Amino acid sequence: MKARVFITLKPGVLDPQGKAIHHALEGLGFGGVNDVRAGKLIELDLADGTSDGDIEEMCRKLLANTVIENFRIERLQDA
Amino acid sequence: MKSAVIVFPGSNCDRDIAVALELVTGRKPAMVWHRESELPDGTDFIALPGGFSYGDYLRSGAMAARSPIMGAVRDAAARGVPVIGICNGFQVLTETGLLPGALMRNAGLSFVCRPVPLKVENSQSLFTAAYNSGEEVVFPVAHHDGNYQADEATLDRLEGEGRVAFRYRESVNGSARDIAGILNDAGNVLGLMPHPERVVEAAHGGIDGRRLFEGLLETVA
């Protein structure tokens, strides 16, 4: 069983990396980009039967720093 | 003073702090590997050194904060043992929740490595008793993730309770309210990005950091 965890900075938290990417896009001539926020994607390969609660605990205890980050869990259907 | 320096894979200021502690206290600190689960008996001061533990993977300090030894550090801090976290050590302290807030990528995105002037905001703490309030000192910084951020309520509480120990005199990394170092609510845990252990001998180009350790020695020993 696989799951993906998307980690994003909370709204309002300054994202210097996103800002730099934004500037670089503008430098390449891409107009119309209003904002860029950078985050992380973590893919987990999990034992069958791992519960949503287990994954959430992984996020709270390590994968995300909930002071500054939000996380979203997406379970993938077995291919 | 019986001090312990915690060593993580990727720590690189563990020797600097050990040399500074030996110089000031006359006693070599115990170097404690992160896989240990207990501190040496009678440890009365703990230092989390600077460096790049675990290559700053995931977030700076995130992996180190979950090391086996950190349980013992947390227990010792709860008993009132003084704990200092310098640079990466500060990041580890915020990641363990021993200090509030988080240290994010520097606002200018560049690695900052230079001596910076700081204001001693609180000279009443265990760590700053040998300084005067409002005094200016110069400590070097060397970090990429030193941009201290917390929500406004937390920042107001830190200011109101005198828990901002050191403040940058100029903008260095984008830190909220130019905060360079903070104390926990009990006052026995200090985290700071600048490196006092790198200015303890004249040959270092300054000795402003020396009094931090001398002050501690006086209160702890």
Q: State the catalytic residues of B.
A: 87, 195, 197
Bridge-based pairing of strands A2-9 and A69-76 is antiparallel
Q: Which of A7, A8, A10, A14 to mutate to test the interface with B (most CBs of B within 10 A)?
A: A14
* B121: exposed, middle or buried (Cβ count in 10 Å: 0-12, 13-18, 19+): buried
A78: confidence class by pLDDT, cuts 50, 70, 90: low
pLDDT in tens, A29-72: 999 999 999 999 999 999 999 999 999 999 999 999 999 999 99
Residue B104, domain CATH: 3.40.50.880
DSSP-assigned letter for residue B61: T
Range of the domain at B100: 3-220
* B65: exposed, middle or buried (Cβ count in 10 Å: 0-12, 13-18, 19+): buried
Pairwise CB contact (< 8 Å): B107 & A14: yes
Q: How many domains does chain B have?
A: 1
What is the model's pLDDT at position B187? 97
Say what the ipTM of the complex is. Answer: 0.84
What is the model's pLDDT at position A16? 87
Pairwise CB contact (< 8 Å): B102 & A67: yes
Q: How many domains does chain A have?
A: 1
Taking only residues 50 to 69 of chain A, the set having a beta carbon closer than 8 angstroms to any beta carbon of chain B reads 61-63, 65, 67-68
* B165: exposed, middle or buried (Cβ count in 10 Å: 0-12, 13-18, 19+): buried
Q: Which of A62, A63, A70, A71 to mutate to test the interface with B (most CBs of B within 10 A)?
A: A62
pTM, full prediction: 0.94
pLDDT tens sequence for chain B (221 residues)? 999 999 999 999 999 999 999 999 999 999 999 999 999 999 999 999 999 999 999 999 999 999 999 999 999 999 999 999 999 999 999 999 999 999 999 998 899 999 999 999 999 999 999 999 999 999 999 999 999 999 999 999 999 999 999 999 999 999 999 999 999 999 999 999 999 999 999 999 999 999 999 999 998 86
Pairwise CB contact (< 8 Å): B104 & A65: no
Q: Inform me whether the C-beta atom of residue B147 falls under 8 Å from chain A C-beta atoms.
A: yes
Please check the confidence at residue A77 and state whether its pLDDT lies above 80: no
Residue A21, domain CATH: 3.30.1280.10
Range of the domain at A54: 2-76
